[in-house]
Structure 1
Amino acid sequence: MAGKVTKGLAGLRQAAGHTQQSFVVAFMDEAARLGIDASLSVRQLRRWERETPPPLPHPSQQVVLEAMLGVPLAETGFDVPGHRMTVAAPISDAGGVKRRTFVADTGALAAGAFFPTRPGPRIGTADLGRLRTRLDGLYQTDHTEGSVPAMAEARRIEGEITGVLGAASYTSRIGRELQTMLAELHGHRAWYGYDGGLIDEGRVACIEALAAAQLVDNPLLQVSVLETLVLLAIKAGRAWEAASAVENAYRLATSAGAGHTVHLVIALRDANVATHTGDLSGARRALSRAVTFQGRADADTEVPNWAQFAGPFEVDYATADMYVRAAQPKRAVPFLHAAVRGIGGDLARNSASYRVKLAGVLLDAGEADEACGEMSAVLDACGGIASPRLLGKIREFQRAACRVDSTAARECGERIRETVRGGTA
């Protein structure tokens, strides 16, 4: 009897890719989904798998186990009394016994419950780890080389994942992880659309990402997409959509128990919306919240990859943006100086973007020489960054410099023409 139980229950659990701990979690989820008052502990699961004879599950536990495993309880090695036996029979047969039934023979169900019958290769945790490493590497590529090469790599990874999902064999847990990665990739593509000025494409990617994140029931992943949607909606002139995205992001983050850094990102997007619409009082309130969240961020034990960019320099940058919107460039300058100092060299693309912003604000404040000095530093550093948004900002500064009657401005404008003629930034 003990050997039969091990081959049955423990074997099906292992085939599903579950540890004993994760199986218990899945059991509780299934019970909640079925609306059944049933519980399970790791200790009890161990008794079921190891003891001779194993203790019989309660009737409510039996229903949940059979729903999870797709086979009658008796086929997993338990000695089930006749009045609790389940059978394979048509449920519409008026003469049949009215017990829970199965729609196929137990052997087919046991094999098909966890391993899709497909001709492709079997995908395991090692394959998943390699894909995850490449996916996480997109952040570094985007920060250091720009969105253009990052988009190319993202498309390659996406092609591999969709191919695996459609043709390979994998456990339900690995399938869920693959779908989560696909949702993340859609989110990356949304950001690349924003950075590349492809706003409509970015919004479509956001919708795909939100749908995929909902399917895997990942609220924080939905928040990451919504914070990008805010930026895209602002660019598309859809301030109401951006404001709605902020509200939903706050709601999801709160219900998921997200940390202070995630709330900091949302507060910054809230400030983006208020600044764009000219609601400077709203912008100040959002920035005050951001300062509060930033002050507590050290208490976070875990921060999602997509939120790790957020820090004091982002708050300073957003504050400067508010002053620029209020037509007070001189008040924006010290905040931009602080942002440039604080951002660090590992975020090369954002660092260059911050300095271009500083250069433009200095120019508006009448500090042409200092502005051109900042722009020269950007041109020295950004040669290997392929970012359409950064290139657009540099060209915008060039147009502004052309209107300034200054030797430094004329020389800087000429250097920009020579540097970006081929669109290298």
Structure 2
Amino acid sequence: MNSLGAAVVAGTGLPEQAGRRTPAGPKGAIGATHVMELREGLRSLYQLDNAYGGGDVRSLARRHLKRVERIVNTGHYPEAIGRQLQLVAGETAEHCGWLYYDADDQEQARRYWGEALETATVLGDDNLAIMVLASLSMQASYEGRPRQGLNLARAAQDRARRYGSPVLMSLLASREARALSLLRDDSAATRTLIESMRLVERGERGRPSPDWAAFHGHAELDYAQGLFYTEAGHHGSAVQFLRAALAHQDRTYGRNRALYRLTLSRSLIQAGEADEAAAQAIESLEHLEEVESGRVTRRLKEVTELLRDVDAPCAQEAADHLTEYAETSGAA
């Protein structure tokens, strides 16, 4: 673990949690307090990932999952507590899948998401199943399998409708729209994005969304709209939405801000706005110094290569800065 990761982890106290054992109840039984501690550890992992990306968090998440699995397999507990422990294990496996996805290790992401989906099936837990299906849809689109991404998003929607959460349905609609745009069904993608935006506006009046969907909102939808216009080749329109996504993104989501700014720089290059593209690329370095994410690193390389192809001094200077950063940080 690098020095940044060590400092961040030390500040959360998570390793202390990972090694601590709350005294067991009567006859060594595991109880509700243990479940609460394990959930608090998982919540800390979410917060670290949101702020700094998944690079340094993966090893902690694996250790947390092993701890939960050890308790599941060796602890003594009543049936109701056992179900909660297995659910924490499934949710932690799902988060491990996300962390490997963010690191661009898609095989490992699939393995962990498969574990989580198995747990959801055994327990009959719709919330966990919806979360995994949404993640698998996102991954399928990312890997160039949009038809599968579409089917997975719709399977998640079928399960989610009964819960009446507009924000959750908005999130799943945005995953569906992403797959449709990659399938070049632009009219259907547009309709689905409009519906996703309408649903998120209703969020405060509907049933609350699950905690794992808390990140979804206007910034995510602006970003999705920007990607849609990018796929359609309308780079000027993409720039407008990507600017809005960056403006709306909460500063606690450091990894997302880095990704959004680099994506904005890419669209500015494609729209012929070399000066602003170079400026946004340079400004992204402030975020990149705090973030470790394989997806962000991939976008950094893409933007650097595009800047190299622009015949403008500002673009060449920005490309030099990005290259220097990648070489010194190990992201090259």
TM-score normalised by length of structure 2:
0.88
Q: Distance in 1 between matches of 2:146 and 2:270?
A: 26
Partner of 1:400: 306
Q: Deviations over 1:26-84 (max 9, x none)?
A: xxxxxxxxxxxxxxxxxxxxxxxxxxxxxxxxxxxxxxxxxxxxxxxxxxxxxxxxxxx
Q: Distance in 2 between matches of 1:237 and 1:333?
A: 23
Paired residues of 2:31 and 2:81 also in contact (CA < 8 A): yes
Paired residues of 2:258 and 2:284 also in contact (CA < 8 A): yes
Partner of 1:217: 124
Could you tell me which amino acid in structure 2 is paired with residue 313 of structure 1?
A: A
Q: Distance in 2 between matches of 1:146 and 1:121?
A: 37
Partner of 2:230: 324
Q: Deviations over 1:164-199 (max 9, x none)?
A: 111111111111111101111121122122211112
The number of residues matched between the two structures is 305
Q: Distance in 2 between matches of 1:148 and 1:300?
A: 35
Q: Distance in 2 between matches of 1:342 and 1:328?
A: 22
Partner of 1:372: 278
- CA shift, 1:226, in A, is 0.9
Could you tell me which amino acid in structure 2 is paired with residue 140 of structure 1?
A: Q
Q: Distance in 1 between matches of 2:148 and 2:207?
A: 32
Could you tell me which amino acid in structure 2 is paired with residue 373 of structure 1?
A: A
Q: Distance in 2 between matches of 1:315 and 1:228?
A: 16
Partner of 2:158: 251
Partner of 2:287: 381
Partner residue of 1:184 out of 64, 81, 91: 91
Q: Alignment identity in percent? A: 29
- CA shift, 1:374, in A, is 0.9
TM-score normalised by length of structure 1:
0.69
Partner of 2:240: 334
- CA shift, 1:333, in A, is 1.1
Alignment CA distance shift 1:301-1:246 (3 Å): closer
In the alignment, structure 1 residue 361 sits paired with structure 2 residue 256: no
Partner of 2:31: 124
Q: Distance in 2 between matches of 1:362 and 1:238?
A: 27
Partner residue of 1:207 out of 114, 120, 144: 114
Partner residue of 1:266 out of 155, 164, 172: 172
Q: Within 5 Å, give how 1:168-179 maps onto structure 2.
A: 168-179=75-86
Paired residues of 1:199 and 1:235 also in contact (CA < 8 A): no
Q: Deviations over 1:257-278 (max 9, x none)?
A: 1411110110110111011111
Partner of 1:97: none
Partner of 1:242: 149
Q: Distance in 2 between matches of 1:219 and 1:391?
A: 34
Instruction: Give the 3-state SS of the residue equivalent to 1:148 in structure 2.
Output: coil
Paired residues of 2:97 and 2:112 also in contact (CA < 8 A): yes
Q: Distance in 2 between matches of 1:236 and 1:164?
A: 35
Q: Distance in 2 between matches of 1:185 and 1:341?
A: 31
In the alignment, structure 1 residue 164 sits paired with structure 2 residue 164: no
Q: Within 5 Å, give how 1:53-202 maps onto structure 2.
A: 121-202=28-109
Segments of 5+ residues of structure 2 without an aligned counterpart are 1-26
Paired residues of 1:398 and 1:413 also in contact (CA < 8 A): yes
Could you tell me which amino acid in structure 1 is paired with residue 172 of structure 2?
A: I
Q: Distance in 2 between matches of 1:197 and 1:400?
A: 21
Instruction: Give the 3-state SS of the residue equivalent to 1:169 in structure 2.
Output: coil
- CA shift, 1:121, in A, is 4.0
- CA shift, 1:291, in A, is 1.2
Quick one: higher RCO (CA 8 Å, sep 6+), 1 or 2? 2
Q: Distance in 1 between matches of 2:142 and 2:258?
A: 21
Paired residues of 2:146 and 2:180 also in contact (CA < 8 A): no
Segments of 5+ residues of structure 1 without an aligned counterpart are 1-119
In the alignment, structure 1 residue 295 sits paired with structure 2 residue 201: yes
Paired residues of 2:58 and 2:100 also in contact (CA < 8 A): no
Q: Distance in 1 between matches of 2:107 and 2:64?
A: 22
Partner of 2:12: none
Q: Distance in 1 between matches of 2:29 and 2:206?
A: 37
Paired residues of 2:174 and 2:221 also in contact (CA < 8 A): yes
Q: Deviations over 1:199-236 (max 9, x none)?
A: 22212222221111122221121111111101211233
Q: Distance in 2 between matches of 1:374 and 1:296?
A: 33
Paired residues of 1:194 and 1:231 also in contact (CA < 8 A): no
CA RMSD, aligned part only? 1.5
Could you tell me which amino acid in structure 2 is paired with residue 166 of structure 1?
A: N
- CA shift, 1:332, in A, is 1.1
Q: Within 5 Å, give how 1:16-31 maps onto structure 2.
A: none
Partner of 1:349: 255
Alignment CA distance shift 1:190-1:328 (3 Å): same
- CA shift, 1:366, in A, is 0.7
* 149-158 or 260-269, which deviates more: 149-158
Instruction: Give the 3-state SS of the residue equivalent to 2:290 in structure 1.
Output: coil
Q: Within 5 Å, give how 1:21-60 maps onto structure 2.
A: none
- CA shift, 1:301, in A, is 4.7
Structure (1 or 2) with the larger CA radius of gyration: 1
